[in-house]
Amino acid sequence: MLVDNGVHGDSRVQKVARSAAEAGWEVTLLGRSPHGGAERWQLGPAEVRLLPMPDPLARRRHEFRRAWLRWPLAYPPSGIAAHRAQWVKAWQTDIRQREAELTLAARAGLAGRPRERRRRRLRVERSAAHLLRRWVSLRYWMLTRARKGRRLRSPWDRLYTWFWSTVQGGRAWRRLEPGLWDYELAFGPVVDELAPDLIHAHDFRMIGVGARAKVRAAVAGREVKLVWDAHEFLPGVQPWQDNARWLPAHRAHEREFVPYADAAITVSPTLAEMLRREHGLAELPAVVLNAPDVPAPGEPAPADDAAPAGNAVPAGDAAAAADADQSAPELRARCGLGPEVPLLVYSGVAAPKRGLGTMIEALPQLTGVHVALVVNKPDGPYVQGLRSRAAALGVAERLHVLPYVPHWQVVPFLAGADAGVIPIQHWPNHEIALITKFFEYSHARLPLVVSDVRTMAETVRSTGQGEVFRAEEVDDYVRAVRAVLADPARYRAAYDRPELLAAWTWQAQAEVLAGVYRRLLAEPTEPVEAESSPDAPAPESPVAESPGPESPAGPARSRPVEAGAR
């Protein structure tokens, strides 16, 4: 399996890898190390390996040049600016130290002409250092402005994008987004060494890595099946970088390599139809919903066998993540609230387009109501801005910001709230799928308050499990919250229909995934058991020898490694 992140925090990737491994296939999950060092651990029977990925191609050529015309005094972008700034600080520190020594000497009655001359020299040095620091600061500031000022959205950049898109067509991403090669150069050799039978490539960055590995394997006389797992509709994605090249480049990259896929899966029926039209797919992608991994009654909750995992599903501390038997923490206890206090919860990524500002702005109108934000970056700048806004509105004591908990604890953790809120704004990809938190709230049997993004709004209206409000409209949000809190039993009654939640479980989705694998490969002989204990140390090397026929990782022919194994 190939993914362009550090695996921690990607519940879909974790569940797919673990489910495939537990079904009997030998699974190696390759991700990108967030800190540059190799990591390895077990995710149930699946092996996770995070690879170091240098990304020099992600920097544009202009980032290595000076902006002579606009910022002639700026330092060159070579690192000298930070060196000079630190050197001046060191000089000023030295001056202060020598002045302090003279002061102590004067107090001891040791003043004299030599020391007076030293004091005068230090005054001159102090003035010179001050002037030099201002000069360095000016040049450093110009360098910063030069870097920030080039957003790749100017008329020249749009012309550049148009030119290469016209000249090279689908190959234009090589000019527009050469950083995509960094993924190939880091992951490609490891995939070749693993020699997989099947590669499961997550999303638009890794489809190219998987497709090229498939071609190289064919040249070597091996057949490799490629599964493309499309998490989003790329034309509807808000560019991850503020430039004119990002979206055209990634769309071209995706279009070039999707034809190599032997099967596609995605997250919703609507997105499946859109992908078939966008890429002219011969068959409709299979739908594997981002449903939570809810154990059957009496079944123990799963736990990651080494490293803490959490994501779209909130995640907590490492010790908790390693304990398979640990019960979920109490949401209300962490907020310091009793059962009688009305509590709304939002669980997921904290970002402006998620609409969390609406929840904060509404608090003055919702007397006594508390809000819990269970988010990926509790101390991030966006969340700090929400805290500041709550303080300005006089409701800071009713806002609680909490970190993620492990994904198997999410549903019981969220169940402590009175309602689950999804206030996301109107973006194309928000309209077309039921997102992970929707299913998590549902299994927690929470009444829902959702914005009027199409798919979720239609579902909530049809099931009666909550209220819909107009996105970004505070007054309408307040109306929806009051309605839900006034009669929560009415909305919870929707979950009494067993068929509603039955299909919204990961167990049901894992069957769809297994069906795709079985169609492409021979079914594995037997389920695979985890081979190491949660406390086993992770090897440091990013590359390991592929397991042989007698490997305890699984039967030799069970290799739909989601990027593979021998």
pLDDT at residue 279 in the model: 95
In angstroms, rounded to a whole number, what is the distance separating the alpha carbons of residues 71 and 73? 6
Going by C-beta distance under 8 Å and a sequence separation of 6 or more, which residues neighbour residue 192? 213, 216, 217
For 131-166, the pLDDT digits (tens) are 999 999 998 888 887 776 556 566 777 888 889 889
Using DSSP bridges, classify how beta strands 286-287 and 343-348 pair: parallel, antiparallel or unpaired.
unpaired
Token digits of residue 416: 């402590």
In angstroms, rounded to a whole number, what is the distance separating the alpha carbons of residues 175 and 306? 40
How confident is the model over 367-392, as a mean pLDDT?
A: 95
For 321-340, the pLDDT digits (tens) are 444 445 778 999 999 999 99
Nearest to 467 by CA among 441, 446, 449: 449
In angstroms, rounded to a whole number, what is the distance separating the alpha carbons of residues 165 and 133? 46
3-state helix, strand, coil in the chain (%, to 5): 50, 10, 40
Q: Are 301 and 409 in contact (CB under 8 A)?
A: yes
Q: How many Cα atoms within 13 Å fall on the side-chain side of residue 99?
A: 13
Question: Burial code of 232-252, b = ≥16 C-beta within 10 A, e = fewer?
Answer: bbbeebeeeeebbbbbbbbbb
pLDDT at residue 535 in the model: 36
Q: Are 427 and 353 in contact (CB under 8 A)?
A: yes
| Position 81 confidence tier, pLDDT thresholds 50, 70, 90 | confident
Q: Which residue's entry shows tokens 């499961």?
A: 200
In angstroms, rounded to a whole number, what is the distance separating the alpha carbons of residues 229 and 236? 16
- ∠ CA 551-556-562, rounded to 5°: 95
| In the predicted structure, residue 32 carries a pLDDT above the cut 80 | yes
| Position 295 confidence tier, pLDDT thresholds 50, 70, 90 | low
Rounded to the nearest 10 degrees, what angle do helices 246-257 and 155-168 cross at? 20
Segment holding 11, helix H or strand E: helix 11-22
pLDDT at residue 439 in the model: 93
Q: Are 423 and 398 in contact (CB under 8 A)?
A: no
In angstroms, rounded to a whole number, what is the distance separating the alpha carbons of residues 318 and 448? 30
Token digits of residue 62: 């202009």
pLDDT at residue 143 in the model: 83
Token digits of residue 126: 């102090």
Q: What is the pTM of this model?
A: 0.72
pLDDT at residue 547 in the model: 32
User: Based on the number of CB atoms within 10 Å of its own CB, is 413 exposed (0-12), middle (13-18) or buried (19 or more)?
Assistant: buried
| Position 75 confidence tier, pLDDT thresholds 50, 70, 90 | confident
For 518-566, the pLDDT digits (tens) are 999 976 645 544 443 333 333 333 323 333 333 333 333 345 545 443 3
Question: Who has greater pLDDT, 426 or 539?
Answer: 426
Phi and psi for 402 in degrees, rounded to 5?
-125, 155
Token digits of residue 544: 């390991």
In total, the chain counts a number of residues equal to: 566
- ∠ CA 467-469-471, rounded to 5°: 145
